[in-house]
Structure 1
């Protein structure tokens, strides 16, 4: 039995012997988005570990925690390659819509590229509530999922040669850039991602080293938890509640399965 696949399927609720193919990636991506949270608790607690295959598997599959893009998509990459996919991680830069420019932190987003049947696709489980839930072809074709519409556009930037664009259900009326990425610079050694972790954990402008954040998709929306707010999108309607430390710990355990906070 493939060890990563066994633990991964247990974590996301698929049969242990599930045969993952390119055509079934939609289901894998959706189950992952609903099961494994995007969260920064190790950064907040200053308990991060070096990015290795063993540490990523231990954190997400054994300890049942979540992670940031470089952890979640590292696990996805390991899972895909174990199942004979031609896959590799790639670095990107998230677009800052308040500044209308790419983030000053540089190439700190990590996504995954899959090559299949002569074409390349973006697959991403580490972009918070903005997940496509399907492979997105770099050819420009639009894909639709329960989370919205997504496409990749050829666009030369200082950070790569393509951008992922999105139009989230109930949130966006126009296309907006999610991140730029570089198809020509694959990452084959996870240790390269330690530089990204250091920036995210230590840079004064990092959005992930200020307050705890947990978010994941649900069957009809998404949920987001910080130490002061609980936000739930459900069938296009949003509710937001102010909370304290006790409620934060309760919600983290109830909705994210995390009781280390």
Structure 2
């Protein structure tokens, strides 16, 4: 983690005045450095989640990952920086349905005696700032978010986002309980193998940009701006997909996508 901490300090971390600003800076850099991507799921890489695995994949190779990779790396960095941080687990809620139980890894934070969460692994729906429990809402290029005490069958705290219609909707729910590190590998296996998993169906790479969000799958690149404008650019062939990943992400991620999209695996879809 020393390498990442050194990079953070060299790129502006030391200029942040408060702990909340410091964590927000780390979250912004994580969004810049580590895309949300499921290439390992699609390629069947079921290696256990260890600090060594995360260092090799994300710090050395500059790949991204899913929540059970990005947020544990975030946890290790925040602890190295001196923050009181622990691993937590949430259950995603989407379109009226619960996702796989407690498979979304998050970071539980205590800052100046108050409870916050930090999350760099929720696709492109990132607040880019720690969310205080029952505190102020936070706005980023991805939207507006808040953390509220909210009793449900899956937990007592909800991370919520503000919809275009002005309603608050639940993104995920959790209890303020520390979970052991070995739960990460269990969540990874569940995401890989469970037919209800949304991440073992097709390629997904999602990032947040200064002016909005973008996502790439095997069919297209999709951009959404803060003003609500959206644009979809279909891929005509495999090379167009790889070129888009190389343009928007790291060369190592583009190489991983190219290895995944071998002729025996890749069948371009008709538009």
- Cα distance, 1:193 vs. partner? 1.1
135-144 or 205-214, which moves further after superposition?
Answer: 135-144
Mapped partners of 1:241, 1:235: distance in 2: 18
Counterpart contact for 1:30–1:133, Cα < 8 Å: yes
- Cα distance, 1:159 vs. partner? 2.0
1:87-236 matched pairs, under 5 angstroms = 87-97=85-95, 100-103=96-99, 105-167=100-162, 171=164, 173-183=166-176, 185-187=177-179, 189-236=180-227
> Is 1:7 matched with 2:4?
yes
Q: Mind listing any 5+ residue stretches in structure 2 that lack a counterpart?
A: 258-271
54-63 or 232-241, which moves further after superposition?
Answer: 232-241
Quickly say closer, same or farther: Cα 1:226–1:9, change in 2 above 3 A: farther
1:14-52 deviation digits (Å, cap 9, x = unpaired): 616843743322222122213310000000001231011
CA-atom RMSD in angstroms: 1.9
Counterpart contact for 1:96–1:102, Cα < 8 Å: yes
Mapped partners of 2:9, 2:234: distance in 1: 35
Quickly say closer, same or farther: Cα 1:194–1:18, change in 2 above 3 A: same
- Cα distance, 1:149 vs. partner? 1.7
Q: 1:27 aligns with which of 20, 25, 28?
A: 25
More strand by share: 1
Mapped partners of 1:66, 1:191: distance in 2: 20
Counterpart contact for 2:141–2:209, Cα < 8 Å: no
Aligned residues: 249
TM-score by length of 2: 0.86
